[in-house]
């Protein structure tokens, strides 16, 4: 992704990105409505349809909160198609800064702020949502001084039986957390306590002190807020007023006081827990917490980073960048990160170097009397996908563990010094079985992390004629791409090693994906064989409801490996709103253009 790129044929990227281990946030311009928005990127990976469907469901859950004091989710957008598809949340841009670092205000002004946050809590609590981390850095202010609650990264659903996504760990900030939150329990009264602690900080400059028993010690002069804050900061949740009562009392105290607008507010970047926050295992201790939507967990995370001055944003992403652990992507050997012997405890193993693109390596594990498990290592040119797991670091490598699925288990490695690269390790089976997929993935991950930290990774040498030395984007010049209206030839999505390239039309629902592949020579079953510029090519049209595509597989060269005859292929996938036959016509024309830029077949 780059500045000026259009997402969803509507949102033009104008600033950013702000990157964390698990996400990427951009400032963008909504060119239909002429307003600034914030886009948060969530990669769908190899399961784009299911990933985007889940994101849509989560977005619908958050969309119910159309509230003047909650930062608004506008849209959920999928950009691209197939393996290169990405999913985005489109959110309100709040430009006035957070409350963090502001000068102390009068009790009446603090009450005005608190009443607006309490108004948001009334709405959230009515839907069974607990925010979980109310503090100055998570309350932002618009240009006219309106207060909005942001960053739902610690939110949970309580008191119901609806589970939209699995629970993650509770994230909280000790200075503002209720006593029960520190013990791993969230409830509606926890937000009331945190709001009280925040109002104390707005008036006195710091959150309240606590005694040895955990009770709050109110020694500062709080003026007209004293009584209500004592009630809100009660140690026992049952003794605190609910959000509706807090709203009533703070509104009375505020009178006509308002928070003056400020452009000097600062904000945390809360995608990863900030200094002073703590993670506890809520699921282990309190299984009755049924989980907030991932949209609440992620949708508003990172918005406040755009409130920082541009100089701070631009500098922080580059300062102290460590040296690369991967080196030249076109010569690194993905199989160097595998240790088949270590996986031998789970069954017989087989290393498969020649399957899929050149950014991949597979180890097949064959447990006794069980289905085969494919342990796959992929190098990906993209910031880390939005992950529901918690990142940990071993040496110079971050590790994100995703919850297990029925037939797969995924780990993502985030090497230091690689701002645009991650490595995924997937243990997957196609048939039902009992093999411990996550245990297998963890052993493979441990081997890969050790090898990365020991570095440098070995290089590989491939035949001079191999497609590994080619650039997928360079196979289709601007003139060739004109057969698909609305494609910008200068703005492709480039895969790892430049072995994959994708374009999306900005004027029609058409997508083009070009990638290299290796494996058994393609079979013309379910397709038709032809010859394009001397190269054998298989055309495979496909229609699945409204989803239509045509895949052209050009056999570039054949060779023999340990499994027998193999082939390197150029794969061009054209998909979109036209008929499958029309898409195959486009695929054939594009394949001819690509073949013309390849050496004549031997």
Does some domain include residue 270? yes
Does some domain include residue 197? yes
pLDDT band at 136 (very low <50, low <70, confident <90, very high): very high
Torsion sign over Cα 225, 227, 233, 238: negative
Please identify which residue in the block is written with the tokens 């508003």. Answer: 300
Q: What pTM was estimated for this model as a whole?
A: 0.50
pLDDT, position 385 = 44
pLDDT, position 316 = 34
Does some domain include residue 514? yes
Does some domain include residue 422? yes
Beta strands in 144-199, from DSSP E residues, in sequence order = 147-149, 156-157, 170-172
251 with 392, same domain: the answer is: no
SS (H, E, C) 307-344: HCCHHHHHHHCCCCCCCCCCCCCCCECHHHHCCCCHHH
pLDDT, position 321 = 39
Q: Where among 274, 309, 344 does a domain terminate?
A: 309
pLDDT, position 592 = 95
> Lowest-confidence range among 59-68, 220-229, 236-245, 333-342?
59-68
CB 121 within 8 A of CB 288: no
591 with 563, same domain: the answer is: yes
pLDDT, position 392 = 85
- The predicted-structure confidence for 243-295, as pLDDT tens digits, reads as follows 999 999 999 999 988 887 654 433 333 333 333 333 333 322 332 222 333 33
What would the two tokens of residue 160 be? Answer: 């119901």
CB 211 within 8 A of CB 235: no
420 belongs to the catalytic site:
no
CA distances from 419 to 5, 86, 258 (A): 19, 18, 42
291 with 341, same domain: the answer is: no
73 with 33, same domain: the answer is: yes
Does some domain include residue 460? no
pLDDT, position 272 = 35
403 or 449, which is more confident: 449
CB 195 within 8 A of CB 130: no
Burial environment of residue 254 by CB neighbours within 10 A (0 to 12, 13 to 18, 19 or more): buried
Most confident of 14-18, 102-106, 143-147: 102-106
Quote the mean pLDDT of the chain. Answer: 79
Per-residue burial over 564-600, b if 16 or more Cβ lie within 10 Å, else e, is eebbbbbbbbbbbebebeebbbbbbbbbbbbbeebee
- Average pLDDT value for residue range 103-114: 94
Q: Where among 271, 294, 309 does a domain terminate?
A: 309
Q: For residue 127, how far is the Cα from the chain centroid?
A: 25
191 with 246, same domain: the answer is: yes
403 with 523, same domain: the answer is: no
pLDDT band at 309 (very low <50, low <70, confident <90, very high): very low
CA distances from 87 to 10, 40, 403, 418 (A): 14, 8, 19, 22
CATH number at residue 192: 1.10.510.10
pLDDT, position 505 = 87
Residue 358 clears pLDDT 50, i.e. is over it: yes
Percent of the chain with pLDDT over 70: 78
SS (H, E, C) 564-594: EEEEEEEEEEEEECCCHHHHHHHHHHHHHHH
445 with 474, same domain: the answer is: no
Residue 420 clears pLDDT 50, i.e. is over it: yes
Distance CA 350, CA 213 (A): 59
233 with 154, same domain: the answer is: yes
- The predicted-structure confidence for 537-569, as pLDDT tens digits, reads as follows 999 998 877 788 999 999 999 988 776 788 999
- The predicted-structure confidence for 470-524, as pLDDT tens digits, reads as follows 999 999 988 999 999 888 888 788 889 999 999 988 888 899 999 999 988 998 8
CATH number at residue 71: 3.30.200.20
How is the beta sheet containing 421-428 ordered, strand by strand?
A: 348-352, 360-366, 373-381, 421-428, 408-415, 397-401, 391-394
Residue 317 clears pLDDT 90, i.e. is over it: no
Torsion sign over Cα 321, 324, 329, 335: negative
Does some domain include residue 574? yes
Q: Where among 424, 454, 484 does a domain terminate?
A: 454
59 with 172, same domain: the answer is: no
Range of the domain at 164: 107-309
- Average pLDDT value for residue range 195-206: 95
Percent of the chain with pLDDT over 90: 40
546 or 180, which is more confident: 180
pLDDT, position 492 = 85
Choose the catalytic residue: 30, 36, 47, 133.
Answer: 133
- The predicted-structure confidence for 364-398, as pLDDT tens digits, reads as follows 999 987 889 999 999 998 744 444 445 789 998 99
Find all residues with CB under 8 Å of 445, minimum gap 6, and list them.
Answer: 399, 411, 413, 425
Domain count of the fold of the chain: 4
End-to-end CA distance of the chain: 37
Other CB atoms within a 10 A radius of the CB of residue 88 amount to 24
Other CB atoms within a 10 A radius of the CB of residue 175 amount to 18
SS (H, E, C) 185-201: CCCHHHHHHHHHHHHHH
pLDDT band at 601 (very low <50, low <70, confident <90, very high): low
- Average pLDDT value for residue range 413-428: 88
- The predicted-structure confidence for 12-71, as pLDDT tens digits, reads as follows 888 877 765 445 778 899 988 888 888 877 544 433 444 444 445 445 545 556 788 988
What would the two tokens of residue 134 be? Answer: 């109310």
Does some domain include residue 421? yes
395 with 516, same domain: the answer is: no
293 with 399, same domain: the answer is: no
211 with 125, same domain: the answer is: yes
Find all residues with CB under 8 Å of 459, minimum gap 6, and list them.
Answer: 327, 328, 331, 332, 333
Q: Is 31 helix (H, G, I), strand (E, B) or coil?
A: coil
pLDDT, position 518 = 92
Does some domain include residue 317? no
CATH number at residue 477: 3.40.1000
Other CB atoms within a 10 A radius of the CB of residue 601 amount to 15
């Amino acid at each position: 992704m780059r500045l000026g790129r259009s997402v969803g044929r509507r949102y033009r990227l104008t600033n950013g990105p702000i990157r964390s281990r698990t996400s990427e946030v951009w400032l963008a311009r909504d060119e239909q409505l002429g307003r600034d928005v914030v886009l948060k990127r969530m990669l769908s990976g190899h399961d784009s349809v299911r990933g985007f469907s889940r994101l849509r469901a989560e977005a619908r859950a958050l969309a119910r909160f159309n509230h003047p004091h909650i930062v608004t989710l506008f849209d959920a957008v999928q950009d691209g198609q197939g393996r290169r598809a990405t999913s985005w949340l489109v959110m309100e841009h709040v430009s006035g800064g957070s409350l963090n670092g502001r000068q102390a205000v009068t009790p009446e002004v603090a009450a005005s702020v608190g009443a607006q946050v309490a108004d948001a809590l009334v709405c959230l609590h009515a839907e069974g949502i607990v925010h979980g981390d109310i503090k100055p850095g998570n309350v932002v202010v618009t240009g006219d001084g309106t207060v909005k609650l942001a960053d739902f990264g610690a939110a949970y659903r309580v008191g119901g039986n609806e589970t939209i996504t699995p629970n993650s760990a509770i994230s909280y900030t000790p200075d503002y957390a209720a006593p029960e939150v520190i013990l791993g329990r969230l409830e509606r009264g926890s937000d009331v306590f945190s709001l009280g602690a925040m109002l104390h900080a707005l008036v006195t400059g710091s959150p309240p002190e606590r005694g040895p028993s955990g009770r709050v010690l109110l020694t500062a002069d709080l003026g007209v807020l004293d009584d209500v804050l004592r009630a809100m900061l009660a140690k026992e949740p049952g003794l605190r007023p609910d959000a509706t009562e807090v709203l009533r009392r703070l509104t009375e105290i505020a009178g006509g006081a308002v928070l003056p607008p400020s452009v000097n507010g600062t904000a945390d970047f809360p995608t990863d827990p900030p200094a002073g926050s703590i993670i506890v295992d809520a699921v282990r201790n309190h299984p009755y917490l049924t989980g907030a939507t991932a949209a609440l967990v992620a949708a508003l995370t990172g918005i406040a980073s755009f409130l920082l001055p541009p100089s701070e944003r631009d500098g922080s992403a580059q300062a102290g960048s460590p040296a690369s652990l991967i080196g030249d992507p076109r010569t690194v050997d993905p199989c160097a990160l595998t240790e088949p012997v270590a996986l031998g405890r789970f069954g017989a193993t087989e290393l498969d170097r020649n399957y899929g693109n050149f950014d991949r390596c597979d180890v097949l594990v064959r447990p006794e009397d069980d289905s085969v498990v494919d342990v796959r290592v992929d190098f990906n040119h993209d910031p880390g996908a939005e992950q529901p797991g918690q990142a940990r670091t071993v040496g110079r490598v971050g590790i994100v563990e995703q919850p297990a699925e029925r037939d797969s288990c995924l780990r993502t490695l985030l090497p230091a010094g690689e701002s645009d690269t991650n490595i995924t390790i997937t243990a997957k089976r196609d048939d039902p079985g009992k093999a411990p997929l996550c245990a297998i993935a963890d052993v493979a991950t441990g081997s890969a992390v050790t090898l990365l930290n020991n570095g440098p990774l070995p290089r590989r040498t491939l035949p001079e004629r191999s497609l590994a030395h080619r650039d997928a984007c360079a196979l289709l010049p601007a003139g060739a791409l004109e057969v698909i209206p609305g494609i910008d030839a200068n703005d492709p999505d480039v895969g790892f090693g430049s072995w994959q390239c994708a374009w999306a039309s900005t004027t029609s629902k058409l997508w083009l994906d070009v990638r290299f592949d290796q494996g058994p020579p393609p079979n013309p079953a379910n397709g038709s064989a032809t010859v394009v510029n001397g190269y054998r090519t298989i055309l495979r049209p496909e229609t699945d409801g409204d989803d239509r595509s045509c895949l052209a597989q050009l056999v570039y060269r054949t060779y023999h490996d340990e499994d027998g005859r193999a082939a390197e292929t150029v794969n061009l996938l054209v998909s979109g709103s036209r008929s499958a036959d029309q898409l195959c016509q486009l695929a054939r024309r594009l394949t001819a253009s690509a073949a013309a830029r390849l050496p004549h077949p031997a």
